[in-house]
Amino acid sequence: MIEKDIPRYQSMRVLWTYRLVDFCVPFLMLVTAHFLLSDQSWKEPYTWLGCMAGLLFIVFTQLLGGYSRFADRSIAKKIEIVFKTWAFNVLLLMFISYFNLAVLDQSRSIVIVWVILTPVFIFLVKQVINRSFDKNCTTVVVLGNGYEFTDFEISRLERQKISLIMLNSIDPTDLKNKVAKFSADYLLMNLSDTANNKLIKELTKLELDGVKLLSLPNFMEIFLRKCFIPYESMDLSYLSRIRSFSKKDLLLKRLTDLICALSLGLLTSPVMLWATIKIRKESPGPIIFSQARVACGGNERIIYKFRSMHVDAEKHGAQFASKDDPRAYEFGAFMRKTRIDELPQLWNVIKGDLHFVGPRPERKVFADQLEEEIPYYNERHLVSPGITGWAQVLYPYGANTEDARQKLMYDLYYIKHWTIWLEIETLIRTVGVIIGKKGW
């Protein structure tokens, strides 16, 4: 992903608003923590700590490129910059405080709450600012019609303030004028055939003039955050670009899995008890539904769910679940829409059969079929599946081969670009999906 090759800066008003937030919020959060947790008067070391924190936050954010427009395009990137900056901030302030003995005059509880909550609040405030005040629109001129963007993709781009202008007829001699006419920020190569020498010459001139050229795969990864897969692809080099997690990544993911599974299990235990009673009342039969699903390396694992369908739901054979599946009973349909039926899979996470976040596990009968129809489908088995996933939070409910192909693009992006920050973004988006009742 070519983050640094396409910098594009915020309007001056938004950029300076960000700096103002970075300077003021640490001090205001310290005032708030002191007001809520202490009955003593305000002390001078708190003023010094709050002001120094704000000043250093601006410096570190600037050094990490946090004021560029691209930093706001990805929630994962914004989380990374905010929390990395704050970590550097806290470490330096601890060092300075130790040698100035200022820390001796400060309450530990106040400082701990302040350290934990300040980056969260800064992140949330910047999200509000970005949605409310950043009116800049990115214009992408699409050269050719090799790939037809779906309505869902166009809708996602529009929400990011990205406008596509299609140039289906290609005249190399007039290309420069058309790009200038639309004030294009990017020129997307979406050709169905190989470019001829005249077109290559004009594209080279445009690039020398400062126009940013993007291939379709790069565009997909940067703006739609998915790895493009054409149906007719036979590119073996594609396989080398998708790698399984390193040992360090697996250790970090395992720690995240256990924290999330144990915490969520404790919080939702009353919900699981309620679900057990409701299932027993509405649909006599097993409370827990178990089924073999394809996991890492193509091996099968038994996955557990609350049973959301009637006992005889597959008497006519295996079939894809649909959005409003008629095989589900009333409370079962509610569980599917609110994801309550997935809660028993927390046990699978604790056991190590699943990650908390990863590609959704598929049944072997469907996986074998999709591997025949979709290039690189088997690549999703490089990692263990998960309860929630990048495809689940970014793509709507799907029940056919094309939907499976689209979801695979998101799954491969997740595998290729995995970081702890992308993991956190997926978890945040999962909460948003549940609260927003996606699927209702």
- Give φ, ψ of 399 to 5 degrees: -145, 30
Residue 227's nearest CA partner among 409, 1, 411, 3 is: 409
Burial of 277 per CB tally in 10 Å (0-12, 13-18, 19+): exposed
**Residue 214's domain is classified under what CATH number?**
3.40.50.10700
- Residue 251 inside a domain? The answer is yes
Residue type, 382: L
- Residue 207 inside a domain? The answer is yes
- Residue 233 inside a domain? The answer is no
Residue 434's nearest CA partner among 258, 256, 268 is: 268
Using the 3D structure, point to which of 107, 133, 159 is the last residue of a domain.
133
- Residue 2 inside a domain? The answer is no
251 and 213 belong to one structural domain? no
117 and 58 belong to one structural domain? yes
98 and 151 belong to one structural domain? no
The reported pLDDT for the residue numbered 309 is: 84
165 and 276 belong to one structural domain? no
- Residue 273 inside a domain? The answer is yes
- Residue 230 inside a domain? The answer is no
- Residue 236 inside a domain? The answer is no
215 and 287 belong to one structural domain? no
Task: DSSP letter for 106, please.
Answer: S
The reported pLDDT for the residue numbered 135 is: 65
257 and 400 belong to one structural domain? yes
User: Strands 288-294 and 300-306: what pairing?
Assistant: antiparallel
Q: 10 Å Cβ neighbour count for 271?
A: 13
The reported pLDDT for the residue numbered 4 is: 38
70 and 160 belong to one structural domain? no
421 and 297 belong to one structural domain? yes
The reported pLDDT for the residue numbered 321 is: 58
284 and 206 belong to one structural domain? no
> How many whole angstroms separate alpha carbon 227 and alpha carbon 191?
18
Using the 3D structure, point to which of 185, 209, 224 is the last residue of a domain.
224
The reported pLDDT for the residue numbered 233 is: 67
Domain count, the chain: 3
pTM score, two decimals?
A: 0.84
Edge to edge, the sheet with strand 162-167 lists: 162-167, 138-143, 186-189, 212-215
73 and 181 belong to one structural domain? no
Residue 239's nearest CA partner among 391, 369, 382 is: 382
DSSP string, 37-62: H--SPP-HHHHHHHHHHHHHHHHHHH
Residue type, 47: T
The reported pLDDT for the residue numbered 108 is: 82
Per-residue pLDDT of the chain (440 residues; tens, 9 = 90+): 334 344 444 467 778 888 999 999 999 999 999 999 888 888 888 888 899 999 999 999 988 888 876 455 688 988 999 999 999 999 998 887 766 655 455 678 888 999 999 999 999 998 888 877 766 688 898 988 888 898 899 999 988 888 898 887 777 777 888 888 888 888 998 887 777 788 888 888 888 877 888 989 999 999 999 999 887 766 667 767 788 888 999 999 999 999 999 999 999 999 999 999 999 988 888 999 999 999 988 889 999 999 888 776 655 555 555 556 677 888 888 888 888 999 999 999 999 999 999 999 988 888 988 988 888 898 899 999 999 999 999 998 777 888 899 999 999 999 999 999 999 999 999 988 877 755 43
312 and 428 belong to one structural domain? yes
- Residue 231 inside a domain? The answer is no
Residue 320's nearest CA partner among 377, 359, 366, 378 is: 366
295 and 394 belong to one structural domain? yes
Token pair listed for 100: 């100035």
Using the 3D structure, point to which of 190, 224, 258 is the last residue of a domain.
224
Count of H helices and E strands in the chain?
A: 17, 8
Distances (CA, A) of 332 to 3, 7, 245, 342: 43, 48, 35, 11
> Domain containing 174: what range?
138-224
